[in-house]
A and B are shown apart, each in its own frame.
Chain A
């Protein structure tokens, strides 16, 4: 489970780091922090899903498929709704 800790650590680092954004509206501190938490949870969910899939492949319960990279999240149609949602 070493890899899992890596991903979790990466998520925590992402939550903690970023430069303040230029915006002409006030994004709201609470709103920014909530998004950070939600995004971290989403990242963990995506990671967990990938590993679950790998485990099933390893146990030969499922065949290898397109769900092998988190990049797939980026390539979807905006309205397809096939990805993890928060």
Chain B
């Protein structure tokens, strides 16, 4: 290990004087006494406390860290000789490889949550073979890096003691099994429950929502329905604090984890039948117009040379790939779970490392959540991005959602430095379709009105008509972002 920082644990009265308190502690890193994440300058660090020393040393010395990192299951880190954030009780400071863009389970499609669940179980099985065990199993410990789910909490591993049950079993069921079962067997939109319940979906709630037929599935019967009943039975009695916990043999525990793995991998959601998944097939674009639009977007991207792209309303990611294929880290946001699912599966199949499909409703973007609203960042806090793309999007926001164009421009100017945006006029058949069933109250919705509304927040750098369509593609620069 290079630059290992050996720190005095600090004791008693000296502690207060040693507190460095330089930088900022992560708002979402305070539950585990073994350590926490802090930011200093542009860098992210993880402080290991003395109370996490034994487990951390075992992780590093048992070969588990090397095994997990080699299989790209755990984020790589190095021990660094920088001052700890809180010198009192500090043992080591780690510098993990940074994650480009932090995402949350309520922004993932079905397969992303499933892959994160399988990663967690595989990490637990790998850990058990080296006498360690995951002490937590939250979906927030998983991030997508270069197209793959990776565990980011180095301090999640603790020494395994023969006979001990898996302390994170309930958390795993709440964070992964319950939402996956609900998405697969009831409705894929139930992933939104993860936004309401920060520590996973309560099992009694999941059990109540799942159809009766799921009781015929042995895995779901045991791990969700029976599990919920057991929790209820032991929640309010004296036995809720047993002096002796149940013993679980090592082989029994491995059997349980492998069983969970089988149940999770058999859950399936068929991404079809939603409005948007078939969008490209039903648009009014001719092949020539589509190619021209692609060419223009490619040119604008070359001109903007962004370090990162957010494609807002990306559908299955056709235009996102113009940026991602050129090596630009690109997030393909869409409101439709089927579009994101199809995009993610294609990303996996092609092993694309610069693309990340994510769920987002731009009319109600991810808010800050958890304690003080600061544990999980809002979308806006995770921005701004160098370049946003809003292709064939504005009519859905302005007309379907009645958002005035000035407000659209103001929000986009907070999200990005440069903007590639397509204006779709009322003469376009897609807009006609949106207006077919409602009164047209959108007097300002025309190209001149669009340019006037956006001129307040953006400087227009370039504009071109898309051949064979009524649409215009703009390249703009935000006035409020440096």
Question: Per-residue CB proximity of B147-166 to A under 8 Å, as 1/0?
Answer: 00000000000000101111
A30-B171 CB under 8 A given contacts A19-B245, A42-B255: no
Give the docked Cα–Cα distance between A30 and B163 (Å).
17
A38-B222 CB under 8 A given contacts A20-B243, A29-B241: yes
Flag if B249 contacts A39 (CB, 8 Å).
Answer: yes
Interface residues of B in 24-41 (CB under 8 A from A): 31-34
Q: Is A66 part of the binding interface, using a Cβ–Cβ cutoff of 8 Å?
A: no
Flag if B245 contacts A16 (CB, 8 Å).
Answer: no
Flag if A21 contacts B244 (CB, 8 Å).
Answer: no
Most B-side CB within 10 Å, residue of A15, A25, A30:
A30
Question: Per-residue CB proximity of B242-257 to A under 8 Å, as 1/0?
Answer: 1111111111111110
Give the docked Cα–Cα distance between A25 and B136 (Å).
7
Flag if B163 contacts A14 (CB, 8 Å).
Answer: yes
Most A-side CB within 10 Å, residue of B121, B135, B246, B261:
B246
Give the docked Cα–Cα distance between A66 and B289 (Å).
64
- A contact patch SS: helix
In the complex, chain A residues whose CB is within 8 Å of the CB of B231: 28-31
Flag if A19 contacts B244 (CB, 8 Å).
Answer: yes
Give the docked Cα–Cα distance between A38 and B255 (Å).
9
Flag if A78 contacts B163 (CB, 8 Å).
Answer: no
In the complex, chain A residues whose CB is within 8 Å of the CB of B254: 73-74, 83
A42-B251 CB under 8 A given contacts A24-B135, A30-B231: yes
Q: How many interface residues does chain B have, given as a range?
A: 35 or more
Give the docked Cα–Cα distance between A35 and B33 (Å).
26
Q: Is B140 part of the binding interface, using a Cβ–Cβ cutoff of 8 Å?
A: no
Flag if B250 contacts A74 (CB, 8 Å).
Answer: yes
Flag if B169 contacts A36 (CB, 8 Å).
Answer: no
Question: Per-residue CB proximity of B224-241 to A under 8 Å, as 1/0?
Answer: 001101111111000111
Flag if B246 contacts A36 (CB, 8 Å).
Answer: yes
Give the docked Cα–Cα distance between A84 and B31 (Å).
35
Q: Is A59 part of the binding interface, using a Cβ–Cβ cutoff of 8 Å?
A: no
CB-based closest 9 A-B pairs: A39-B252, A36-B246, A78-B125, A30-B230, A42-B255, A18-B247, A85-B259, A30-B231, A31-B170
Which residues of B line the A interface, CB within 8 A?
31-34, 121-122, 125-126, 129, 135-136, 161, 163-171, 173, 222, 226-227, 229-235, 239-256, 258-259, 261-262
Which residues of A line the B interface, CB within 8 A?
11, 13-21, 23-40, 42-43, 45-46, 70, 73-74, 78-79, 81, 83-86
